[in-house]
Amino acid sequence: MFGRRLELDATVVAITTEVVSEWYPDEIDMLAEIRTPPRAHRLRAPVGMGVELAAVTPVLLSVLTFIAGTAATQVVEGALGRLGTAARERLASFFRPDRPPVTSSPEADLPQIEAALAEICVEQGMRTDLAREVAKHVVSALRRRLGQAG
């Protein structure tokens, strides 16, 4: 179990590093400070404060850690019920390489994954326009991983 957790954390950090390095290089110092990946948590403003989070990195790490955790515990269906079955299986396959290959087309699954990632980023306090942008970049990184696997 401990070995799997380290593997998942490495995947989360690798995807986050790829997205931040390419699209948000001014936040690269945040990644350099990370010694161990964070636990999933919900970033909240103080009660009564209507603030939006400006930094991409902490939200992206939180969202991907949450998704990796759901994939590791095989509860992706409950946590990401907004996705179709094939899209849930595809998303889980990025974080659980021991899962059987997904037979559906990635082009059918990835738009659903992008929409779900954007929604989760908004739930974590990110502006809607930024959340959509970040989700697009994450899906691009996932597409590249599919190309490397094939």
Note the Cα 54 to chain centre separation in Å: 17
What was the pLDDT predicted at 56? 86
In a domain? residue 48: no
In a domain? residue 27: yes
Is the model more confident about 72 or about 13?
A: 13
Per the CB < 8 A criterion, the answer to whether 134 and 19 are in contact is yes
Dist. CA 67–CA 113, nearest whole Å: 11
Per the CB < 8 A criterion, the answer to whether 110 and 94 are in contact is no
In a domain? residue 74: yes
The mean pLDDT of 87-103, rounded to a whole number, is: 78
Q: Is the pLDDT of residue 22 over 90?
A: yes
Could you give the 3-state DSSP secondary structure of residue 126? strand
- The residues, any chain, with a CB within 8 Å of residue 30's CB and separated by 6 or more, are 20, 55, 57, 58
In a domain? residue 44: no
In a domain? residue 62: yes
In a domain? residue 105: yes
Domain around 64: 2-38+54-149
C-alpha count within 13 angstroms, C-beta hemisphere, residue 120: 26
- Give 145's pLDDT tier (boundaries 50, 70, 90): confident
In a domain? residue 46: no
| 120-144 tens-digit pLDDT | 888 888 899 999 999 999 999 998 8
What was the pLDDT predicted at 71? 66
The mean pLDDT of 39-66, rounded to a whole number, is: 64
Tokens of 54: 């400006």
Percent of the chain with pLDDT over 90: 17
Q: How many domains does the chain have?
A: 1
In a domain? residue 18: yes
What was the pLDDT predicted at 47? 46
